[in-house]
Amino acid sequence: MPEISQEALREVTQALEKYRQVVGDSQLRPNSQRTRYWQANAFVRWLRGEFDPGSKVELNGYPVRRGEQTPM
């Protein structure tokens, strides 16, 4: 797990929420919106120690298969 202060993590989490809103309001197709948000969210989860790059992908504790629709 990377070293990051709680204050910095809080700021990153707030920025992620703003990013989600901007991506959701964009003209991107829904699948592109989900992909952009998922990638950013994976980084924040990694900062929290909740995600290990290269491990089995899960969303809310359930496996997600490639190409499966995921909620944004």
Question: Residue 52's pLDDT is what?
Answer: 81
- Domain chopping of the chain, boundaries: 6-63
- Answer yes or no: are the C-beta atoms of 55 and 48 closer than 8 Å: no
Taking only the tens place, the pLDDT of each residue in 15-55 is 999 999 999 999 999 999 999 999 999 999 999 988 888 77
Closest to 64 measured CA to CA, from 43, 34, 44: 34
> Is pLDDT of 3 > 60?
yes
Question: Residue 66's pLDDT is what?
Answer: 53
Considering the entire predicted model, what is its pTM? 0.72
- Kindly tell me the burial class for residue 37, based on how many C-beta atoms sit within 10 Å of its own C-beta (0-12, 13-18, 19 or more): buried
